[in-house]
Amino acid sequence: MMLRVVTQGAEARAELGRIGQRLADTQAQAEQVREILAQVQQRGDQALVDYTRQFDQQELSPADFLVSGSALDAAYQQVSPELLAAIRLAHKRITEFHQQRVPQTWVQFAPDGMVLGKRYTAVDKAGVYVPGGRAAYPSTVLMNCIPARVAGVERVVMVTPPGAEGAVHPAVLVAAQECGVQEIYRIGGAQAIGALAFGTATIPWVDVVTGPGNVYVTLAKKQVYGRVGIDSLAGPSEVLIIADGTAKANQVAADLLAQAEHDPSAAAILLTTDSTLAQAVAQEVAMQLEHHPRRLLTEKSIAHYGLVVVVESLAQAAELANEFAPEHLELAVAAPWDLLPQIRHAGAIFLGHHTPEALGDYLAGPNHTLPTSGAARFSSALGVETFLKASSIVAASPASLHQLGEAVVVLAQAEGLHSHAESVRLRLEP
Amino acid sequence: MMLRVVTQGAEARAELGRIGQRLADTQAQAEQVREILAQVQQRGDQALVDYTRQFDQQELSPADFLVSGSALDAAYQQVSPELLAAIRLAHKRITEFHQQRVPQTWVQFAPDGMVLGKRYTAVDKAGVYVPGGRAAYPSTVLMNCIPARVAGVERVVMVTPPGAEGAVHPAVLVAAQECGVQEIYRIGGAQAIGALAFGTATIPWVDVVTGPGNVYVTLAKKQVYGRVGIDSLAGPSEVLIIADGTAKANQVAADLLAQAEHDPSAAAILLTTDSTLAQAVAQEVAMQLEHHPRRLLTEKSIAHYGLVVVVESLAQAAELANEFAPEHLELAVAAPWDLLPQIRHAGAIFLGHHTPEALGDYLAGPNHTLPTSGAARFSSALGVETFLKASSIVAASPASLHQLGEAVVVLAQAEGLHSHAESVRLRLEP
């Protein structure tokens, strides 16, 4: 049986620690990415042409980068009516969720005439990275473009590696167009991140770069961070399920495999109070793997980063979950809302037996771009906020300056900043 | 005359571009920081002891890192009553501002039984870096610790380099205690950031690291970003002032110098429609510099990164300001609220002739930790949000799963994710 079952607390902690640190980019990869970014910054489009030949085996000239209007049109003929309807349903639900609680500009007026506030504005330009590779990901398009649109970003640009025949998958092109995004460049990898950060003759530089990718894309995002904003540094995906005896083994097993099938580095963890369920899930996983279309990849993930822990109590499970701070947390227990207050760190929480993570991956509404590798300790899902920024607003009246000025002078002097004090003093002069 | 006055649009753009890119950390510095972080990760406290000897010329054992209770107590006797009162006034005003619009947990209940929402929680532990060096910065303490406290962070830890005699400035210790922070370690530089990211036997690892520092501190924050959250990558400070003929030359000059006196790399820029004011400000800057206590440093900044541009209109000034995206923007014009809508990118905006930036630096209320080097295009001031994170909440009912399940299956199949579809199908079975 491939899925290990662990019953000792110490062993469980050690294993969870190991799995939590499975993301290991190397210094050599970072060097390679540094070189790619430097080339893109110096040589622009020509570097993109060269890297696309090298990494994607496609011969594109800069004029070919942009997906043509006819390819955009044709894409609608190439997806099934069912898929189009599903994309539209997802678009509607994700939009509605992201429209909730968008930060709004505010000012407040103090009695002494001081006006303070925060003014929110959208970034001018956003760049969205959509991975190619193993599959087409229209859901990634929706989850990145919709928050940018809701934020009010005027120009949203997408980059995605060209497929085997040089084309972009029609489902991706349809999803983009449903979000009102038509500017799509067939460039992938670290070089695409470089293009969005520095700009080339063909591809505009942007203010914020979002979207998931492989380790090279992630390292590139880390290196350009500061010059542009980024959503987060995404590692391999992970689910942690807390289940009691009321959970069904086949459903839990499918949920674990739904994570494992993403990537050989994905992690799928079950913490359960029920040792019978633990064994049943392990058996179900083996069974469901037998005819799995991605069996090899999924087995690898389960073998390396799959784990079942039999815990003594749901409280212990919550504690272990908080230490792991999973990207996805399922509470497959009889009373999930009662367990929720014990959870401190998780990217997204799925409550109850009728809420498979897949629902949230596609169209429940919340964003599926979530903090991984323990980053849920300190960060949140991609959201409208990713594409907004606030400017503080301060407008003092003569009265308020007179009331506060002396304290500013005292503090400025304590910090040895002469002109800070002077800038106030000169205004307090009669 | 040291402060250059430029009247040609093209020259102004070139100069603003040069100033905007003045932040230049080197590959060698990044390597050095990588080595420091690796040493701290491997050798813990001993690495801190060694680097403190090397960089701060202090011989501290791990037991000496923590500022003692008696030093904390003594600090209150070492600051003047005026300074204590000013710190308390600043604390009150900054707290009140940061208590506005704190993101709140919400859930919404759909008619079909689906519950969606966002649950905000504070990070468990935060680490605040407070620079030493040229001066003591109690304002930095307040601006970092108060938002952490308002967010509800349970453990706030401070690190700051030991001064010339090994002590931390009493004003810093008082400001920290006013924020309820007593856990202060006398460690600075990149090694302090490493300690907060990895933890040592003496210093706890934290979830979020905030606070300004020199280029080594900033590079260290960039390198540990992802393992911990950070506030931002702070570059040298900058002010851009838009002034018309109603501005007073001596006040504008003092505001420019208040920026320049921070750091030889600070930038101080004036855009004005009034060429008489331009000349008068340049003269005032020269005059105020004559007896400036930090004359050498401030002259350097003014000479390299000081600039006056005579613009044709306030609209042109706004356009140039948006391209520069300054950390601090003063609108020293007759009708600042009328100009505000034309501003898209600025960290903080100070409106009118009675609002010197120094007011915002210390106690107007908004945070003084702001995006620099053009980062205002995509990021915001440090805030309560820096110490909060949201977990998405999804709880489906049987009815909602039945309504949405088929679309999830269609999307999962389009993305080639078999178990995603299966996890829903198994739950739709009768």
B-interface mutation test, from A3, A140, A391, most B Cβ less than 10 A away: A391
Per-residue pLDDT at B164: 84
Is the minimum CB–CB distance between A178 and chain B shorter than 8 Å? no
**Distance (Å) from the C-alpha of residue B255 to the closest C-alpha of chain A?**
6
A residues 13-32 near B, CB within 8 Å? none
C-alpha pair distances (Å), A280 with each of A250, A294, A313, A314, B370: 8, 22, 19, 19, 54
B389 chain-A contacts, CB cut-off 8 A:
345, 371, 376-380
Domain shared by A206 and A278, yes or no: no
Closest alpha carbon to B417 in A301, A305, A22: A301
Residue A129 assigned as binding residue = yes
- Round the CA-based radius of gyration of chain B to a whole number and report it: 25
A-interface mutation test, from B378, B385, B388, B397, most A Cβ less than 10 A away: B378
Report the alpha-carbon distance of residue A118 to residue B365 in Å, rounded. Answer: 11
Residue B259 assigned as binding residue = yes
Residue A415 assigned as binding residue = yes
Domain shared by B328 and B360, yes or no: yes
Is residue A353 flagged as an active site residue? no
Residue A214 assigned as binding residue = yes
| Local confidence band at B288 (pLDDT 50, 70, 90 cut-offs) | very high
Of A328, A330, A357, A368, the catalytic one is A328
Per-residue pLDDT at B133: 66
Instruction: Give the number of other CB atoms < 10 A from CB of residue B13.
Output: 16
Is the minimum CB–CB distance between B402 and chain A shorter than 8 Å? no
- Average pLDDT on B265-275 reads 97
Domain shared by A109 and A194, yes or no: yes
Is the minimum CB–CB distance between A379 and chain B shorter than 8 Å? yes
Determine whether A112 is exposed, middle or buried from the number of CB atoms within 10 Å of its CB (0-12, 13-18, 19+).
Answer: middle
Q: Quick check: B90 and A407 CB within 8 A?
A: yes
Residue A137 assigned as binding residue = no
Is the minimum CB–CB distance between B358 and chain A shorter than 8 Å? yes
Residue B361 assigned as binding residue = yes
Which residues are paired to B120 by β-bridges?
Answer: B390
Q: Please count the residue pairs, one from chain A and one from chain B, whose beta carbons lie less than 8 angstroms apart.
A: 379
A83 chain-B contacts, CB cut-off 8 A:
410-411, 414
Report the alpha-carbon distance of residue A244 to residue A339 in Å, rounded. Answer: 11
Residue A113 lies in a domain: yes
Please report, as a single letter, which amino acid is at residue B18: R
**Distance (Å) from the C-alpha of residue A195 to the closest C-alpha of chain B?**
17
CATH of the domain at B297: 3.40.50.1980
Is the minimum CB–CB distance between B138 and chain A shorter than 8 Å? yes
Per-residue pLDDT at A407: 98
B-interface mutation test, from A362, A388, A402, most B Cβ less than 10 A away: A362
Residue A111: what are its φ and ψ, rounded to 5°? -55, -30
Last residue of a domain, which of B172, B206, B230? B230
Per-residue pLDDT at A133: 66
Domain shared by A60 and A94, yes or no: yes
Q: Which residue has the tokens 């001081």?
A: A114
Report the alpha-carbon distance of residue B170 to residue A238 in Å, rounded. Answer: 47
Of A248, A349, A353, the CB nearest to B392: A349
Q: Quick check: A423 and B362 CB within 8 A?
A: no
- Report the percentage of chain B scoring pLDDT > 70: 99
Tokens of A126: 């956003």
Is residue B402 within 8 Å of residue B112, measured between CB atoms?
no
Residue B283 assigned as binding residue = no
Positions of B annotated as catalytic residues are 327-328
Q: Which residue has the tokens 């349809």?
A: A174
Per-residue pLDDT at B408: 98
Is residue B200 within 8 Å of residue B177, measured between CB atoms?
no
Residue B415 assigned as binding residue = yes
Domain shared by A132 and A19, yes or no: no
Q: Which residue has the tokens 């099934």?
A: A80
Is the minimum CB–CB distance between A138 and chain B shorter than 8 Å? yes
Domain shared by A213 and A251, yes or no: no
Report the alpha-carbon distance of residue B330 to residue B344 in Å, rounded. Answer: 14
Q: Quick check: B395 and A366 CB within 8 A?
A: no
**For the segment B20-44, what is each residue's pLDDT rounded down to a tens digit?**
988 777 889 999 999 999 999 999 9
**Distance (Å) from the C-alpha of residue A375 to the closest C-alpha of chain B?**
7
Domain count, chain A: 3
Domain shared by A173 and A92, yes or no: yes
Domain shared by B222 and B252, yes or no: no
Residue A372 lies in a domain: no
Q: What is the mean pLDDT of chain A?
A: 96
3-state secondary structure of A197: helix
Residue A101 lies in a domain: yes
Per-residue pLDDT at A393: 98
Pairing of strands B106-109, B328-332: unpaired
Which residues are paired to B392 by β-bridges?
Answer: A348, B118
Q: Which residue of A has its CA nearest to B254?
A: A423
C-alpha pair distances (Å), B260 with each of B33, B297, B301, B366: 27, 8, 5, 21
Residue B115 lies in a domain: no
Per-residue pLDDT at A134: 61
Give CA torsion, residues A31, A33, A36, A42, to 10 deg. Answer: -80
Is the minimum CB–CB distance between B346 and chain A shorter than 8 Å? yes
Indicate if the pLDDT at residue B256 is higher than 90: yes
3-state secondary structure of A19: helix
**Distance (Å) from the C-alpha of residue A119 to the closest C-alpha of chain B?**
9
Of B250, B351, B408, the CB nearest to A358: B408
Q: Quick check: A119 and B349 CB within 8 A?
A: yes
C-alpha pair distances (Å), A25 with each of A31, A129, A218, B38, B210: 11, 19, 9, 15, 25
Closest alpha carbon to A97 in B31, B427, B114: B114
Per-residue pLDDT at A136: 86
Residue B266 lies in a domain: yes
Sign of the alpha-carbon torsion through A187, A188, A192, A196: positive
Report the alpha-carbon distance of residue A76 to residue A175 in Å, rounded. Answer: 10
Say which residues have a Cβ less than 8 Å from residue B224's Cβ, sequence separation at least 6: B37, B193, B194, B196, B197, B209, B230
Tokens of A60: 């594109």
Tokens of B269: 């820029």
Tokens of B159: 């690190």
Report the alpha-carbon distance of residue A116 to residue A349 in Å, rounded. Answer: 36
Is the minimum CB–CB distance between A248 and chain B shorter than 8 Å? yes
Is the minimum CB–CB distance between B352 and chain A shorter than 8 Å? yes
DSSP B246-315: TS-HHHHHHHHHHHHTT-TT-EEEEEES-HHHHHHHHHHHHHHHHT-TTHHHHHHHHHHHEEEEE-S-HH
Domain shared by B274 and B329, yes or no: yes
Domain shared by B13 and B41, yes or no: no
Per-residue pLDDT at B326: 98
Indicate if the pLDDT at residue B1 is higher than 70: no
**Distance (Å) from the C-alpha of residue A106 to the closest C-alpha of chain B?**
9
**Distance (Å) from the C-alpha of residue A102 to the closest C-alpha of chain B?**
10
Q: Quick check: A350 and B395 CB within 8 A?
A: yes
Structure ipTM: 0.96
Last residue of a domain, which of A204, A230, A256? A230
Is residue A6 within 8 Å of residue A310, measured between CB atoms?
yes
Per-residue pLDDT at A27: 86
* Residue pLDDT tens, chain A, 430 long: 579 999 988 999 999 999 998 877 788 999 999 999 999 999 999 999 999 999 999 999 999 999 999 999 999 999 999 999 999 999 999 999 999 999 999 999 999 999 999 999 999 999 999 998 667 899 999 999 999 999 999 999 999 999 888 999 999 999 999 999 999 999 999 999 999 999 999 999 999 999 999 999 999 999 999 999 999 998 899 999 999 999 999 999 999 999 999 999 999 999 999 999 999 999 999 999 999 999 999 999 999 999 999 999 999 999 999 999 999 999 999 999 999 999 999 999 999 999 999 999 999 999 999 999 999 999 999 999 999 999 999 999 999 999 999 999 999 999 999 999 999 999 998 7
Per-residue pLDDT at A234: 86
**For the segment A336-368, what is each residue's pLDDT rounded down to a tens digit?**
999 999 999 999 999 999 999 999 999 999 999
Domain shared by A172 and A51, yes or no: yes
Residue A348 lies in a domain: yes
Tally of CA atoms within 13 A in the half-sphere of B221 that contains its CB: 25
**For the segment B172-230, what is each residue's pLDDT rounded down to a tens digit?**
999 999 999 999 999 999 999 999 999 999 999 999 999 999 999 999 999 999 999 99
Is residue B179 within 8 Å of residue B91, measured between CB atoms?
yes
Last residue of a domain, which of B176, B199, B230? B230
Is the minimum CB–CB distance between A89 and chain B shorter than 8 Å? yes
Q: Which residue of B has its CA nearest to A425?
A: B251
C-alpha pair distances (Å), B44 with each of A343, B32, B40: 31, 17, 5
Instruction: Give the number of other CB atoms < 10 A from CB of residue B55.
Output: 15
**For the segment B347-388, what is each residue's pLDDT rounded down to a tens digit?**
999 999 999 999 999 999 999 999 999 999 999 999 999 999
Residue A374 lies in a domain: no
Of A327, A330, A357, A368, the catalytic one is A327
Residue B380 lies in a domain: no
Tokens of B31: 């390597």
E-strand ranges in A208-250 read 208-210, 229-230, 238-243
Give CA torsion, residues A201, A206, A211, A217, to 10 deg. Answer: 50
Q: Quick check: B101 and A118 CB within 8 A?
A: yes
Q: What is the mean pLDDT of chain B?
A: 96
B-interface mutation test, from A215, A394, A429, most B Cβ less than 10 A away: A394
Full domain range(s) for residue A412: 397-428
Of B360, B394, B411, the CB nearest to A348: B394
**For the segment B128-176, what is each residue's pLDDT rounded down to a tens digit?**
999 986 678 999 999 999 999 999 999 999 999 998 889 999 999 999 9
**For the segment B328-341, what is each residue's pLDDT rounded down to a tens digit?**
999 999 999 999 99
Q: Which residue has the tokens 């929480």?
A: A349
Is residue B332 within 8 Å of residue B353, measured between CB atoms?
yes
**For the segment B378-427, what is each residue's pLDDT rounded down to a tens digit?**
999 999 999 999 999 999 999 999 999 999 999 999 999 999 999 999 99
Pairing of strands A388-395, A115-122: antiparallel
B residues 277-336 near A, CB within 8 Å? 288, 292-294, 298, 329, 336
Give me the sheet containing A229-230, strands edge to edge: A183-185, A155-159, A125-129, A208-210, A229-230
E-strand ranges in B176-237 read 183-185, 208-210, 229-230
**For the segment B56-100, what is each residue's pLDDT rounded down to a tens digit?**
999 999 999 999 999 999 999 999 999 999 999 999 999 999 999
Domain shared by A217 and A186, yes or no: yes
Instruction: Give the number of other CB atoms < 10 A from CB of residue A219.
Output: 24
